[in-house]
Structure formats: C-alpha cells, structure tokens
Structure 1
C-alpha cells in the first residue's frame, strides 16, 4: 500500500506512526502496510517460522470492550522484531474463550509485577492465529495481491481463464496483460459475438466502433493447401481421400 505520495512507506516511518497513534489504523490496514514496507520478507501468514515475520503479534490482556482493533506497538531495543498488540482478537478479554479471572491475573501480573510470562506465552498462539486471520482476508482481496505483482495469485487465476496463465504466454504483444484480464469475462466466454468485440474496442480505445458482419470475400488458398484429383492415390481418390461438396 502506498503512502500519500504513492510511494511505499519506509519501515521506520510506518512503525513510528503505529507507535504514536495505533488507534488510527485498522487491523487489516496496518498489516497490509507492514507487508508492503518489508518486501524482502515473506507475506504475513505464509512464513514457516515466526523469525521470518517482520513484526510479532500479540493481545493485550484487558477486560475492556475494544474501542479499536490495535492497542500498541512496542519497539524492542535488543534487536528483536517490534510487537504489535491487538484488542479485538485472542484468548483474553470479555470476548475470549478463557475464563475472565485468567485475563485479570495476566493483566495484574503485567501491570503490577512487571511479569509478562503468561501474556507472552499466549502470544505464541496469538501470533500464528492473527497471521492466519490476516492471510485469509488478504487472499480474498484481489487488490492486496497487486501489492506484490510477482506473487499475485488472483491475477494468475484470471489469466489462466484466457490462455495466458503460464509465464511464457505473458507480455507478448503491445496490449498489457492487465487489460486482457480486465476483459476476461468476454474473452473466456464460449460464445464469441459482435457485441462483445465492440464492447472491448469501445472500452479499451475509448472510441466508438462499428462492425459489419457476414461480409463475403474470396479467400486465396496457397498451393500446398489445395487438393488435386489424380495427383496421388493417397490423397486424390474421390469419395475415399477427397470429398467434393458437403460430406
């Protein structure tokens, strides 16, 4: 996702904004921007190890109903990834599956005893669950796939419907592949009609077009495509290897 000047935000700038005002971001928006800020990292939710993710996710133990999806972003001074805490999803809280007294216990240990053991243990599961939750949403949003065109699954599926699914069949002419994918509904239809062709030409060139149908014209056939009776017994026997008129 680009910033206001249409360039990808740097990781440091994005993390600073999240740290200063996390409530201004939605969960999906924040993770999408994080994914764009770290193009060298694996997509969130597809990494094989948590160490491959640019940010660790967790839940803040709280009894309050979430006023926003994000709680805080903590920057580590020990070279560890930043920790992004959420409020709307997890084991703790009034909407969580754990008994409420465990939320109270975890919050009390965290605030009064400076002991985050229980909360961080639960975050082992929160990180993976939140990552997969985002991945399910992102896989269903075609625009998110375009953030990384080289790894865009949706465009590949649409391209396969019109015969340009494999890399060897892409970018072979002056018409951009995205334009072909835009007209995939008409190009992939079993019935090709004049109305569809005119709609493609009008939309692509932004100019009105007309089409004259069923205009007869002689077709010149090259010599190697013509048959001659008597030239060969293999191809020139009328009624056997050569037909004349309707079959």
Structure 2
C-alpha cells in the first residue's frame, strides 16, 4: 500500500464503516499491531478513543491537531467501546476531565489508549472470524478455505473454481442427500431461477439384449419383452426462468452449465442421472424470422408463429 492512499484514508475515516475501514487497511498490508496479523509494512496505525461527550455521527473520527496528544503513530479515533468518551466505562469524573483535557490527563489518556487499541483490534479479529467472506482470498489460497476443501478431497481434484465448491460446501458434506440440498445447489448456480422443482423416480426405457427367446435377464429377474423401464436411477430438475438470456447459458459447453453439472454430479454421485428441463414463458422467447437483418435460427429457445398468451414452454436440455 502506498503512503498516498494511506494518508487519504486517514483524512476521511468518517466515510467508512469500522469493519470496512479495518478490512481495507488489512488487505493493503497496514500493520494494526495485532499478533494475528503478520505484516512487514512500515505503515502503522493507532486507534484511540474519542474523548468528547458529544453525540457521535460516525463510528470513526479524523484525528485533528487539537484533539491529538503527542503520539508517534498516525491516529484514528473510534466512537464506541472506549474506556472514555460517550460510552466509557471509567468513572464519570475521569471521563469528564479527559473530555475537558485538563492538565495532567495527557499521560493517563495515552495509557488508556494502549488498551483501547488492543481491544478494538481484537474486536475486529473476532468479528472477522464469523464472516468467512472477508477471510477468503483469490483461488481459495487462505488457510480456512484450504482446510474446508479437505472435506471434499482437497483442492487438487477440483475441476472448476474452488469458490463454487465453497459456496455449497455444507450441502456437499452432508451424509444424507435429499431434494432440498439439490434445490439449494441449483439456486446457488442459477440465482435468477424463480422456481426449482425436483421430480423423482423418472422412468427410463432401456433395451434388454436377448440372444434367444426368454433369455433376457436384468437385475437378477427374468424380463418378458425387449424393453425395461427403470424408475430408480433418474431424477428431473425443472427450472423456471424469467429471463431468456439465462437460457443461453444452460446449453452444452456453456460455463454456467458446466458449473451446475459439476456440482450436481458431486452431490448426487454416480448412482443417479439428472435431467435438466427449463420452463419459460412463451412471451420471453424470440420468434423465428426468415427475413431480417439478424434472423433467429430454429433451436430449442425459438418459437414459430404466435403462441397463446401465458403459455409455458418446457425445454429439455439433456442429462447433466
């Protein structure tokens, strides 16, 4: 972090939330002098308690020359969790004398500010532990992400961006897989889906090889005929969309389709096949035109003629 940006932050701390301010400093390697934060930066900050008793309008205050004692480090004031100030826990007479800046209070205030900085910095560290998104680093390079990815056989075996796995990690790590978890995964990959419906026990017609009459064998039972219907190995996912552009992302070899396919197969395993069907209003689909500057080609997402108002189309997009 360059000194110019650091100075600009110190000149306008009121524009930031406390956690946002600390996260911005930490992400640019500013040393908050906390053992949990290892930084080699020479830029160091001191948090002090706002000593005045007026109603604070923000969580942070700029360090003005008349409000700062002879500190060696740059100072930013906080208006909460102070030993002195509006919510101070020290005796009232001591808080009042610190606010009036009476003679001899400089050393006591500086002494209390050492504890205040430690409390504020540790408060930020504790808050950050409960907000995983602030600990995440690109490509899941942070320690917590690496530990979480070990629950699904580590990072090396992943074929898509690890952040997508981390987003549905609680579902992937469940022992009992159900339709509710599958719905959450579909909603995570396709947040624009207005409705997701899972249909179980979809019958699939399989041909039964017969070398001679009566020799067709499947699932250790004799089969009469040339075909077998199996309803235990396939489910169907219906996704209702209100945007035609999302449909184009769900075709074969599209990035959203590949992410959905990877996460769904990771969730259901190899014992089930998953069909994807999109439900979309006919009014959202473009009409095929034989003339025009940009004619629409006939495909699954194009209509011919004028469909009825309110008509819903179901578009089969294959097996994931």
The count of aligned residue pairs is 198
Quick one: which of 83, 93, 96 aligns to 1:91?
83
Q: Hey, which of these two has a bigger chunk of strand by percent?
A: 2
Distance 1:125 1:13 in 2: 27
Provide the aligned C-alpha RMSD in A.
Answer: 4.4
Which deviations, in whole Å up to 9, do the C-alpha atoms of 1:154-183 show, x marking residues without a partner?
x2453243232xxxxx13342222222223
Aligned to 2:29: 38
- Classify the secondary structure of the residue corresponding to 1:144: helix
Given candidates 50, 55, 62, the residue that maps to 1:65 is: 55
5 Å-filtered alignment, 1:86-235, equals: 86-109=78-101, 116-147=106-137, 150-153=141-144, 155-164=145-154, 170-192=155-177
Who is 2:285 aligned against? none
- The alignment's TM-score, normalised by the length of structure 2, stands at 0.49
Structure having the larger proportion of residues in helix? 1
Corresponding residue to 1:13 among 5, 20, 23: 5
Cα offset for 1:150? 3.5
**Cα 1:123/1:173, change in 2 over 3 Å:** same
Secondary structure of 1:132's partner?
helix
Deviation by residue 1:136-161 (Cα, 9 ceiling, x = unmatched): 111111111025754342x2453243
Deviation track 1:104-150 (CA, whole Å, cap 9, x = no partner) reads 222333xx759632211111100100011111111111111025754
Query: 3-state SS of the aligned residue for 2:61?
Result: strand
Q: Could you tell me whether the CA contact under 8 Å between 1:69 and 1:88 is conserved in 2?
A: yes
Q: CA–CA distance in 2 between the matches of 1:140 and 1:67? A: 26
Which stretches in structure 2 are left out of the alignment for 5+ residues?
A: 210-320
Q: Distance in 1 between matches of 2:179 and 2:14?
A: 53
C-alpha deviation, 1:97, in angstroms? 1.0
Residue 200 of structure 1 deviates from its aligned partner by 5.4
